[in-house]
Amino acid sequence: MDAPSYTLSKIAERDNLAVYELFFGPNHPGMHGNFGYVLEMIGTEIVKVRPNAGHLHRGFEKLMEQKLWVQNIALVPRICVVDPDPNEVAYCTAIEKIMGVDIPDRAKFIRTITLEMSRLTSFLMGMGALGAALGLYTPMYIMMADRDLILDLFEWLTGARIYHIFNIPGGVRNDLPEGWVERLNEVLDHLEKRLIEYDKLVFENPIIHKRLKGLGYISKEEAIRTGITGPNLRASGAAYDVRVDDPYAAYPYLDVKVITQDGGDALTRAVQVRLEFEETIKLIRQALKEMPDGDVRLNLGNLSMLKVPKGEAYAKVESSKGEFGYYVVSDGGLKPYRVGVRGPSLPAGLLYAQKHLPKMKIDDVAAWMASLAICPPDIDK
Amino acid sequence: MMAVLRVFLFGIFAIFIGLLFMGIGRKVIARIQLRYGPPFYQAFLDVGKLFARKSITHNFVMDLGMVMALGGLLATMLFVPIAGHVAVKTSTNLIVIMYLMAIGYLGMAMAVAASGNPNATIGVSRALTMMLGYEVPFFTVILGLIIVNGTSSLELISQSQAGSILNWNMIKFPLAFIAAEIALQAMMGEKPFDAMIAPAEIASGPMVELSGKYLGLAFLTHAVSIFVETAIIVNLFMGGASNIFTFVLKQFEIYLITIFIEAVFPRFKIEQAVKFLWTVPIGIAVLQLLLILL
**Least Cα separation, residue B188 to chain A (angstroms):** 16
Cβ neighbours of residue B44 closer than 8 Å, sequence gap 6 or more: B19, B23
Q: Which of left, alpha, beta for A269 (phi over 0: left; psi -120 to 50: alpha)?
A: alpha
The number of helix segments (H) and strand segments (E) in chain B equals 13, 0
Q: Which residues contact B32 (CB under 8 A, 6 or more apart)?
A: A138, B260, B263, B264
Residue B28 has pLDDT above 60, yes or no: yes
Would you call A135 and B269 a contact, using CB atoms and an 8 Å cutoff? no
| Residue in A22, A30, A134 nearest the CB of B267 | A134
Residue A135 near residue B200 (C-beta atoms within 8 A): yes
Q: Which of residues 226-245 of B touch A (CB under 8 A)?
A: none
Alpha helices in A227-351 (DSSP H): 231-234, 242-245, 266-290, 345-346
d(CA B135, CA B147): 18
Smallest CA–CA separation between B190 and chain A, in Å?
A: 10
Q: Taking CB atoms and an 8 Å limit, are A135 and B32 in contact across chains?
A: no
pLDDT number for residue B49: 92
A167-168 and A45-52 strand pairing: unpaired
Which chain A residue's Cα is nearest to B204? A29
The answer to whether A328 and A300 are in contact (CB under 8 A) is: no
Our count of domains for chain B comes to: 1
Mutate to test the interface with A, among B119, B201, B259 (most CBs of A within 10 A): B201
Range with the poorest average pLDDT among A3-12, A223-232, B65-74, B137-146: A3-12
Alpha-carbon gap, residue B149 to A123, rounded angstroms: 56
pLDDT tens-digit readout, A22-43: 888 788 887 877 888 888 888 7
Q: In terms of residue numbers, what domain contains B40?
A: 2-293
- For residue A264, the distance in angstroms to the closest alpha carbon of chain B comes to 22
Whether A59 contacts chain B with CB within 8 A: no
b/e map A313-348, b = 16+ CB within 10 Å: bebbbbbbbbbbbbbbbbeeeebbeebebbbbbbbb
- B-chain residues near A363 (CB < 8 A): 195, 198, 201, 269-270
pLDDT per residue as tens digits for the range A198-226? 888 888 888 899 888 888 888 889 888 98
Residue A297 has a CB neighbour count (10 Å cut-off) of 20
Nearest by CB to residue A131, choosing from B195, B266, B270, is B266
Q: What are the backbone angles phi and psi of residue A377, rounded to the nearest 5°?
A: -55, -30
Average pLDDT rounded to a whole number, residues A248-277: 88
* For chain B, percent of residues with pLDDT exceeding 90: 15
| Per-residue model confidence (pLDDT) at position A189 | 92
Q: Which of A142, A143, A199, A207 to mutate to test the interface with B (most CBs of B within 10 A)?
A: A207
pLDDT at A2 over 50: no
Residue A4 has pLDDT above 60, yes or no: no
Give residue B208's pLDDT: 82
CA–CA distance, B17 with B103 (Å, rounded to integer)? 22
What's the rounded Cα separation, in Å, for the pair B91 and B139?
A: 19
B226: closest CA of chain A, how far (Å): 21
Mean pLDDT is lowest, of A35-39, A195-199, A374-378, B287-291, for A374-378
Judge whether B184 is closer than 8 Å to chain A, CB to CB: no
Would you state the pLDDT for residue A374?
A: 84
How many CB atoms sit inside 10 A of residue A56's CB? 17
Examine the pLDDT at A3 and tell me if it is beyond 50. no
pLDDT in tens, B40-52: 899 999 999 999 9
Strands A45-52 vs A20-24: parallel, antiparallel or unpaired: unpaired
Q: Cβ contacts of residue B285 below 8 Å, gap of 6+?
A: B137, B140, B141, B144, B175, B176, B179, B180
Average pLDDT over residues A306-322: 88
Asked if B266 and A29 come within 8 Å (Cβ–Cβ), the reply is: no
Q: Does A23 touch chain B (CB under 8 A)?
A: no
The secondary structure of B185-207 as a DSSP string is HHHTT-TTS-TTT-HHHHTTGGG
Asked if A136 is an interface residue toward chain B (Cβ–Cβ < 8 A), one would say yes
Interface contact flag, A30 B199, Cβ < 8 Å: yes
**A190 interface with B at CB cutoff 8 Å:** no
Reported as a single tens digit per residue, the pLDDT across A326-345 is 999 988 888 899 888 888 88
Q: Which of A15, A1, A4 is nearest to A47 (CA)?
A: A4
What is d(CA B169, CA B157) in angstroms, rounded to the nearest whole number? 9
Residue B210 pLDDT level (bands cut at 50, 70, 90): confident
- CB-based contact B266 A211, cutoff 8 Å: yes
CB-based contacts of A240-247 (< 8 A; 24+ apart in sequence) = A241/A318, A242/A316, A242/A317, A242/A318, A242/A323, A243/A318, A246/A316
Mean of pLDDT over chain A: 86
Are B33 and A141 within 8 A, CB to CB? yes
**From-to residues of CATH 1.10.645.10 in chain A:** 60-380
DSSP state for residue A259 in the 8-state scheme: P
| E strand or H helix that includes residue A52 | strand A45-52
Q: At what angle do helices B42-51 and B212-237 cross, to 10 degrees?
A: 140
Read off the amino acid at residue A268: T
Contact B19, B39 (CB under 8 A): no
B49: three-class secondary structure by DSSP: helix
Please determine, looking at this structure, whether the domain spanning A60-380 carries the CATH number 1.10.3720.10.
Answer: no
Phi, psi of A326 (to 5 degrees): -120, 120
What is the maximum span of chain B, computed from C-alpha positions, in angstroms? 60
Interface predicted TM-score of the whole assembly (ipTM), two decimals: 0.83
Rg (CA), chain B: 19
- CA dist A162 and A71 (Å) reads 17
Closest A-chain CA to B126: A44
The pLDDT of residue A360: 86
- Looking at the complex, does the CB of residue A20 fall below 8 Å from at least one CB of chain B? yes
Task: State the sign of the Cα–Cα–Cα–Cα dihedral B282, B283, B287, B288.
Answer: negative
Check pLDDT > 60 for residue A6: no
> Does the pLDDT at position A119 exceed 80?
yes
d(CA A197, CA A203): 10
Q: Do B267 and A28 touch (CB under 8 A)?
A: no
A311-318 and A171-172 beta bridge pairing: unpaired
Q: Enumerate the residues of chain B whose CB falls inside 8 A of the CB of residue A142.
A: 33-34
Cβ B215 vs Cβ B207: under 8 Å: yes
CA-CA distance, B225 to B232, in Å (whole number)? 11
Distance from C-alpha of A159 to C-alpha of A180, rounded to nearest angstrom:
13
> Are the C-beta atoms of B258 and B188 separated by less than 8 Å?
yes
Tell me which residues of chain A, numbers 144 to 183, contact chain B at a CB-CB cutoff of 8 Å: 145
Burial class (CB in 10 A: 0-12, 13-18, 19+), A224: middle
pLDDT of residue A25: 75
Smallest CA-to-CA distance from A232 within A198, A260, A192 is with A260
Interatomic CA distance for residues A148 and A22, integer angstroms: 35
Q: Which of A31, A124, A134 to mutate to test the interface with B (most CBs of B within 10 A)?
A: A134
- Closest Cα partner for A271 from A340, A361, A320, A209? A209
Please enumerate in sequence order all residues whose Cβ is within 8 A of that of B99, keeping only pairs 6 or more positions apart, or say none.
none
Q: Quote the pLDDT of residue A364.
A: 87
3-state secondary structure of B216: helix
Residue A39 φ/ψ, nearest 5 degrees: -100, 130
Q: Which residues of A254-285 are buried (b: 16+ CB within 10 A; e: fewer)?
A: bebeeebbebbbbbbbbbbbbbbbeebbebbb
| DSSP classification of residue B85 | B
Of A112-121, A238-247, B22-31, B205-214, least confident by mean pLDDT is: B205-214
pLDDT at A293 over 80: yes
* Distance, CA of A274 to CA of A202 (rounded, Å): 10
> Which residues does residue A317 pair with via DSSP β-bridges, in sequence order?
A324
Query: Do strands A36-42 and A45-52 pair parallel, antiparallel, or not at all (unpaired)?
Result: antiparallel
Spatial CA neighbour of A380 closest among A119, A152, A55, A127: A55
* A chain contacts of residue B122, beta-carbon cutoff 8 Å: 44, 362
Which B positions 38-77 lie with beta carbon below 8 A of chain A? none
Contact B49, B19 (CB under 8 A): no
